Structure 1
Amino acid sequence: MSSENVENVDIVIIGAGFSGMYALHRLRNHNVVCLEAGEGVGGTWYWNRYPGARVDIESVEYSYSFDEELQQEWSWPEYFSAQPDLERYANHVADRFNLRERIRFSNPVKSMRFNQDENLWHVYTAQGNHLVCRYVIAATGSLTAPNMPPWPGREAFKGDIYHTARWPAEGVDFSGKRVGFIGTGSTGIQAMPIIAEQAEELYVFQRTPAFCMPSGNRPLDEEYERDWKDNYQERRRQMLDTYGASLIKQPEFSAHECTAEQREDILEQAWKSQSAFQLILAFSDVMTDPEVNEMVCEFARNKIRSIVKDPEVAELLCPTSYPIGGKRLCIGNGYFEMYNRGNVTLVDVKKAPIIEFTETGLRTEAAQYDLDIIITATGFDAVTGAMERIDIEGCNNRKLVEKWADGPTTYLGAMVSGFPNLFMIHGPSTPAAQAQMITSGEWQVNWTADIIDNMEQEGLSRIDVTEEAEQSWAQEVNMVSEQTLHKLADSWYNAKNIEGKKGGMMIYVGGFPRFSELCEAAIADGYKGFTRE
């Protein structure tokens, strides 16, 4: 490529979601450019427009803390915000802080190459741009690379196929349609009750049932909002000291300290608490003691049995193969009640798997289903997928996909040995979805920006991490996961949702305070685990 087409900048940020936008603002004193695959800002909340898409953390918490005026001026209509409000908020922030002028929309990064002689990254985009920069910050998100189902015959189907993560902005009309919905994770649980109200028939193809709590969503109380705005500074500080960077009430006692009646009462209160994750936080040992976890599982199963009128359907909807909380707990609004409708059919594809798409619908090992619309809510190639879909080449011509062939390796979830000056936000082996993403993302951006500022102040041009540091971090990640029940569930946390993918535990489950403390300690200890020159 000729030199006149090369653009020299200090920093390239990949992704204009909430972390990428904040990185752009935090590093605004540098010559910084953000490359975004979509046509707008918001990341997850730009792409996921499916019916019922909603956050499961209270809006007053799931928001930026870096600007007090922003906190005071913005009002959320509901406790748990819907996708349109979150996208509206992202656009407000982009406009308020003049971020758009540095974002290149509809311009995904295709490849990156590190030049060891120059200590520079060469970044190539889908639109043919060639940017040369000192640092790259990958704010590519944990759930951004959709997992498409592998069955043959997709092109033969005469109807419409939609993936929930690439939903048409104009929406979809389901009236009079026979709809097949594949996947009963968080997305399906939010979308299907709305679709069932419109469709003539809804066939739910379920492989693994999900635990689901009532959402507790309602209009945001003015007094509650005022109290938060009066105390934002202190609340934000408290959030950073909690396991999930969120002020969800933390339990202080074991289930074994309670009588059976007390346990039932506590769980009933949690179910009705209108706080999304209170069920797995009912006792201090839900995620560490299998016996206690099973008590909570059975409580949740009994709720399903009490809601779903057909006993056979109810049992099919009861999860039995993994601990509650082992996968991210789903939050719904009328999901189990939906199965009492005459136009909804549950199809067990664990017992009779889907074989193929056909001209008229889907075929399982047991039957043919004639459909007008097929919706795939088949999840994501999570945590590593977005990075691995970019052709990234580090030192000695080594590709990132080669380095991660047996599962991702990182140090502090932030850097990969042999790929200098490349930082990740919410990368593999960070708390990611185990911690509230905006707050923990802001923290990681600040930590990263401080490292870059320090490099500039000291006149250094290259920072990397050692393989020994990666190994020690892997030991820490495995050690904390072994103390919990997460290891007993096949999920995107450990890459078991993608056939053939090697991952191991890709999420740090030691809690956000421990994570942030270890990150800060490494820097304070003379950049322990890093190499700088």
Structure 2
Amino acid sequence: MGSMGEPRIPYVDVLIVGAGIGAFTLANRLRKNEFNVKVYERGSASGGIWHWNCYPGARVDSESPIYQLFDRELYEDFTFKERYCEWTELRRYFKHVEKKWNTDAYIEYHKNVETAVFQEDERLWYIKCSDGSQLHAQWFVPCVGFASKHYTPPFPGLENFRGDLYHTAQWPQQGVDFKGKRVALVGTGASGIQVAQEIGNSVKDLTIYQRTPNLCLPMRQWNLDPEVERKKKEDGEYERIFDLCRTTFAGFEYSTNERNTFQDSVTERDKFFQGLWSEGGFRPLLGAYKDMLTDPKANAEAYKFWRRTILPRVRDPEKQRLLAPEKPYHPFGTKRHSLETRFYEVVDQDHVDIIDVNENPLEEVTPTGLRTKKGLVEVDVVILATGFDSSTGSLAQMDIRGTTGGTVGDHWKDGLKTSMGIALPTFPNMLFLYGPQAPTAFANGPSCTQLQAEWVERLMKQCREDNIKRFEAKEDAQNIWGKRVHEQWYKTLFPLAKSSYTGSNIPGKRIEPMNWIGGLVTYMEELYKSLDNDYQGWHTA
């Protein structure tokens, strides 16, 4: 703890890295149980990804009220303005949480964890920050999410572009004016779709560089009536919805239909699909027939309906081919769908163009624009909506060292492996929320992180009661979980798609399932079973 004459390194029971929803709920729970907790956030404010997400059109794709902390103390006097709130609303919400929970008492901003090393002799984590400060902690909990390492493709000549260059993950906080500008938008993932429909009407020209068409779903956005929401809170509707999120596959308030596709007639299927589309959101995926993601013929029926809804919104035959091809690039639902409100109408305009980079690869970025074999498109602005090295990239980029001296990245160099998506062997007393091999990408974020946080709370209380100072995942438990993750994955149609779900969006990255596809309920059951069975799957000391 420091030799004679050296400053004593401060100690906390738990250090949490990151100040998003998972960190807030865990810190609040542990403090109520009299744990000494500190939260370090490298940014200047709370909100996690919503501190950084401020590109045009950025908003959640989980509807109110489930994209928040499931805590009456917080929601009783806060109501979101829209069904799907935008980034400014999330920031307003986090300010509300800060005030309610007095988070200034335990959160420090501009604290970038540079290294974290487990010291076996003292059974403590030694943490050093880029500002030179140091800390000892019994428990180390990175809550850095699955999308904190953005990806910029190595386009030839990108550094030579003389116009304005932006990445959606590093957007200027003061915003950008696109009125009358010629804009190139690279990428049609969730952020690309949101940006396109937001700026498409104000720019002079918009050229979208698309690798794979996004099979967008209808958002069905509307403003919330404060009086209606107040009544729902009084009547217990919010609590009922939050309880439902604990019982469903993906932590939403709805779940998969128990019927198979061809149990219904053509007319019945069409009526069923139309009902899902009318409600909007992720219902066409999560409320679909139960065989949609396992039976190719059933999946084809869902895609055909989707395509029939899109084609009338796009007049241009070439844009129809690019946005809603007759033969899909991948099974419906096996890549991340974006929710949209007017994307297809915006893209159908004459001043908006789409270039398929499979047919016309991006050859170079010149000082004045982007060149493909179709020619040079001169632009004033380039927007990279090229996503993240998701799931593993966030933790692997940190210099976290366990008992073998290797980093998390070293631990994964021969393949992704975790113990139930929350811990790693050789990294004692370290737990992470919303990470790889958990239901992360296939669950409502607040549902997943809050249920994980409840388990961590119980674990730490149980360890304190049992006088356990060292808690580590067993190697065989990790291997068993990895096998189960793969078994569940290959029962579905997901392996037929190239997506961030497998890391194939990052050139050279190993292709493997990144997330648990077996559902949030089953996942939490496994976690609690490990504690109920006398720490089954864990080394304790």
Q: TM-score under structure 2 normalisation?
A: 0.95
Q: 1:360 aligns with which of 357, 368, 376?
A: 368
In the TM superposition, residue 227 of structure 1 has moved relative to its aligned partner by 2.6
**Is the counterpart of residue 166 in structure 1 residue 170 in structure 2?**
yes
In the TM superposition, residue 279 of structure 1 has moved relative to its aligned partner by 4.8
- Show CA shifts across 1:86-125 (max 9, x none): 1111121012101123222122212211111111111122
SS of the residue 1:492 aligns to: coil
Q: After superposition, where does 1:304-343 map in structure 2 within 5 Å? A: 304-318=310-324, 320-343=328-351
Q: Would you say the 8 A contact 2:319–2:348 is kept in 1?
A: no
Change (3 A) 1:503 1:12: farther
Which whole-Å CA distance do the structure 2 matches of 1:248 and 1:355 have between them?
45
- Show CA shifts across 1:398-421 (max 9, x none): 222111013321111111011111
Identity of aligned residues (%): 33
Which whole-Å CA distance do the structure 1 matches of 2:183 and 2:447 have between them?
38
**Is the counterpart of residue 272 in structure 1 residue 278 in structure 2?**
yes
**Is the counterpart of residue 52 in structure 1 residue 57 in structure 2?**
yes
**Residue matched to 1:139:** 143
**Structural RMSD (CA):** 1.7
SS of the residue 1:442 aligns to: helix
**Residue matched to 1:514:** 522
**Residue matched to 2:475:** 467
Structure 2 spans left out of the alignment, 5+ residues: none
**Is the counterpart of residue 246 in structure 1 residue 252 in structure 2?**
yes
Change (3 A) 1:11 1:3: farther
Bigger shift: residues 444-453 or 172-181? 444-453
Q: 1:15 aligns with which of 15, 18, 27?
A: 18
Which whole-Å CA distance do the structure 2 matches of 1:281 and 1:351 have between them?
35
SS of the residue 1:91 aligns to: helix
Q: 2:533 aligns with which of 521, 525, 531?
A: 525
**Residue matched to 1:120:** 124
Change (3 A) 1:364 1:125: farther
**Residue matched to 1:4:** 7
**Residue matched to 2:92:** 88
The residue type paired with residue 241 of structure 2 is R
SS of the residue 1:345 aligns to: strand
**Residue matched to 2:220:** 216
**Residue matched to 1:64:** 69
In the TM superposition, residue 277 of structure 1 has moved relative to its aligned partner by 2.9
**Residue matched to 1:404:** 412
Bigger shift: residues 32-41 or 312-321? 312-321
SS of the residue 1:291 aligns to: helix
Structure 1 spans left out of the alignment, 5+ residues: none
In the TM superposition, residue 503 of structure 1 has moved relative to its aligned partner by 4.8
**Is the counterpart of residue 34 in structure 1 residue 42 in structure 2?**
no
The residue type paired with residue 17 of structure 1 is G
Q: Would you say the 8 A contact 1:280–1:324 is kept in 2?
A: no
In the TM superposition, residue 304 of structure 1 has moved relative to its aligned partner by 2.4
Which whole-Å CA distance do the structure 2 matches of 1:414 and 1:266 have between them?
37
Q: 1:505 aligns with which of 502, 513, 527?
A: 513
**Is the counterpart of residue 375 in structure 1 residue 378 in structure 2?**
no
Q: 2:445 aligns with which of 433, 437, 441?
A: 437
**Residue matched to 2:231:** 226
Q: Would you say the 8 A contact 2:111–2:129 is kept in 1?
A: yes
**Is the counterpart of residue 449 in structure 1 residue 457 in structure 2?**
yes
In the TM superposition, residue 75 of structure 1 has moved relative to its aligned partner by 1.1
Bigger shift: residues 162-171 or 454-463? 454-463
In the TM superposition, residue 6 of structure 1 has moved relative to its aligned partner by 3.0
Which whole-Å CA distance do the structure 1 matches of 2:6 and 2:305 have between them?
66
Which whole-Å CA distance do the structure 2 matches of 1:433 and 1:195 have between them?
27
**Residue matched to 2:308:** 302
Q: TM-score under structure 1 normalisation?
A: 0.96
SS of the residue 2:154 aligns to: coil
In the TM superposition, residue 224 of structure 1 has moved relative to its aligned partner by 5.6
The residue type paired with residue 43 of structure 1 is G
In the TM superposition, residue 230 of structure 1 has moved relative to its aligned partner by 2.0
Which whole-Å CA distance do the structure 1 matches of 2:285 and 2:329 have between them?
18
The residue type paired with residue 9 of structure 1 is V
Q: 1:175 aligns with which of 179, 196, 202?
A: 179
The residue type paired with residue 98 of structure 2 is A
**Residue matched to 1:281:** 287
Q: Would you say the 8 A contact 1:480–1:510 is kept in 2?
A: yes
Q: Would you say the 8 A contact 1:277–1:329 is kept in 2?
A: no
Which whole-Å CA distance do the structure 2 matches of 1:100 and 1:224 have between them?
29
**Residue matched to 2:356:** 348
- Show CA shifts across 1:298-332 (max 9, x none): 22122222211111111111251211111122101
Change (3 A) 1:463 1:378: same
In the TM superposition, residue 280 of structure 1 has moved relative to its aligned partner by 5.3
In the TM superposition, residue 359 of structure 1 has moved relative to its aligned partner by 0.8
In the TM superposition, residue 5 of structure 1 has moved relative to its aligned partner by 7.1
Change (3 A) 1:229 1:514: farther
In the TM superposition, residue 226 of structure 1 has moved relative to its aligned partner by 2.4
Which whole-Å CA distance do the structure 1 matches of 2:373 and 2:466 have between them?
64
Q: Would you say the 8 A contact 2:193–2:343 is kept in 1?
A: yes
Which whole-Å CA distance do the structure 2 matches of 1:107 and 1:238 have between them?
37
**Residue matched to 1:205:** 209
Q: Would you say the 8 A contact 1:405–1:502 is kept in 2?
A: no
The residue type paired with residue 431 of structure 1 is P
SS of the residue 1:197 aligns to: coil
**Is the counterpart of residue 25 in structure 1 residue 28 in structure 2?**
yes
Bigger shift: residues 248-257 or 37-46? 248-257
